[in-house]
Structure 1
Amino acid sequence: MTAASAARPLALVTGATSGIGAAIAEELASTHDLVVVGRNEPALAAWASRDGVTALRLDLSDPEGFAVAIAPLGIERLDVLVHAAAIATGRAVGSASVQDWREHLVVDLIAPAELTRLLLPAVTAAQGDIVFIGSGAGTRPVPGSAVYAAAKHGLRGLADSLRIEVEPDRVRVVTVAPGQTDTPLLRSGVEASGGTPEPERYIRPESVARAVRFVVDQGPDTQITDVAVRPRQELVRL
């Protein structure tokens, strides 16, 4: 059974085996017990070897299976829920297939919604925080990324609607929307489009993690609802 210790709150982070999710989990590990969710078996094993950490392999393309997968954790109170997992494939409207739309919307939007639904009683019990890792594409899409941008627009709408719904329960909901961040996901996307990654111009995942830390460390009288994390020098301006 996973539960926060008497001294340490509990956080669950999806996408915690790579990129931004891994950096957020590492940032929170200093103050929280963790449930790390991902697909990379070696990375999950490394997390599982650490004190106060439970590793969970979860297929985000199968939201119908979430209830069975998380039930053994026995989570009754959850102080922080971070949705960092995502897929991103460059697809314009004219080239996107139904399968492209389905894959992105399930992983990037439906999966966070369903996991939130299942864990909401535990977050409510803790008067906790729900953090959605959005994207600059959620407000400023670029050409050729219609499918990903639509999913991230939807995620922002989910967060904004949820915030209104849970406000009476003192649950805080935030969208942290980073621009181009130096992750395997971004690098593979740049290379797939024929470009060359420019890591020196990208945001570091640890910087996004510090933004999440800022959000969850707010006092009981406030909530930060939207945080845009942009590169120091913009790569794309629209």
Structure 2
Amino acid sequence: MATHLITGAGSGIGEAVAQRLHERGDELWLVARDAGRAKDLAARFPGAHTLVADLAVPDRLSWALGHQALPDRLDSLLHIAGVSDLGTVGELSTKTWNRTLAVNLVTPAELTRLLLPQLRISRGHVVFVNSGAGLNARAEWSAYAASKHGLKALADSLRDEEHTNGVRVTSVYPGRVATAMQAHVQRQEGKEYTPEKWIDPQSIATTVLLALDLPRDAEVHDLSVRPGYSGR
């Protein structure tokens, strides 16, 4: 039985990944913003462990996790949580920039730093669910795209640093996915949210599991996933 620590398991891609791993009997450690959300996650995933930590405040992660029991070893650390607030460079506030970078980039770096000992023990796997915006930036996406470009750099550096420790690192770059975040993005763009146009979160979960389940003699570095024709 493998042990996984997941951020963003409350909805969207994170929830889909957690469901798949839970169904196959793996041990889950799920990060929640507060005690109420932790209780909800524990009810939805019976037997899972929960950790309370606010991903928007990376400076407090070490203190928060230091006061809670952690797994002795980790087979995977799955960074799936994220935020997306659009706006032109001319109108975005420093508050938006700082929150976006904190949740999407600094927190994954800090969580990885704190959990590397457990990952090294098991020769584990770090998966960063990035975004197509981590490869290309468009108008009004500067803060989000910058955070995701940074996340790619983090993953690439980590992979080079931890290769000799047997830690594998994968970045997944989804296109638009039918999640609550996408509904939020569509509202910001002034468009109607039509989930049938976008990738099902379960498809991204399949991609993540593909990387996790690859035999030890190989490692997937980067996976791009784009909406395809579903016939719906």
Q: Same fold (TM over 0.5)?
A: yes
Distance in 2 separating the partners of 1:213 and 1:135: 17
1:154-207 residue CA offsets vs partner (Å, 9 max, x unmatched): 000000000000000010000011000011011012113311112111001111
Contact 1:17–1:44, Cα closer than 8 Å, also in 2: no
TM-score (norm 1): 0.90
SS of the residue 2:171 aligns to: strand
Query: Number of residues paired by the alignment?
Result: 226
SS of the residue 2:49 aligns to: strand
Distance in 2 separating the partners of 1:177 and 1:22: 17
Instruction: Report the RMSD for the aligned CA atoms in angstroms.
Output: 1.5
Q: Does 1:227 align with 2:223?
A: yes
Unaligned runs of 5+ in 2: none
Q: CA deviation at 1:39?
A: 3.1
Alignment partner, residue 47 of structure 1 = 41
Runs ≥4 residues deviating over 6 A:
none
SS of the residue 2:220 aligns to: coil
Contact 2:4–2:28, Cα closer than 8 Å, also in 1: yes
Q: How does 1:43-192 map to 2 (within 5 A)?
A: 44-49=38-43, 50-71=45-66, 72-192=68-188
Q: CA deviation at 1:42?
A: 5.9
Q: Does 1:195 align with 2:191?
A: yes
TM-score (norm 2): 0.92
Unaligned runs of 5+ in 1: 1-7, 234-238
Contact 1:17–1:39, Cα closer than 8 Å, also in 2: no
Distance in 2 separating the partners of 1:84 and 1:207: 14
* Greater displacement, 90-99 / 35-44: 35-44
Q: Identity of aligned pairs, percent?
A: 38
* Greater displacement, 29-38 / 109-118: 29-38
Distance in 1 separating the partners of 2:204 and 2:138: 21
* One-letter identity of the residue aligned with 1:21: G
Contact 2:88–2:141, Cα closer than 8 Å, also in 1: yes
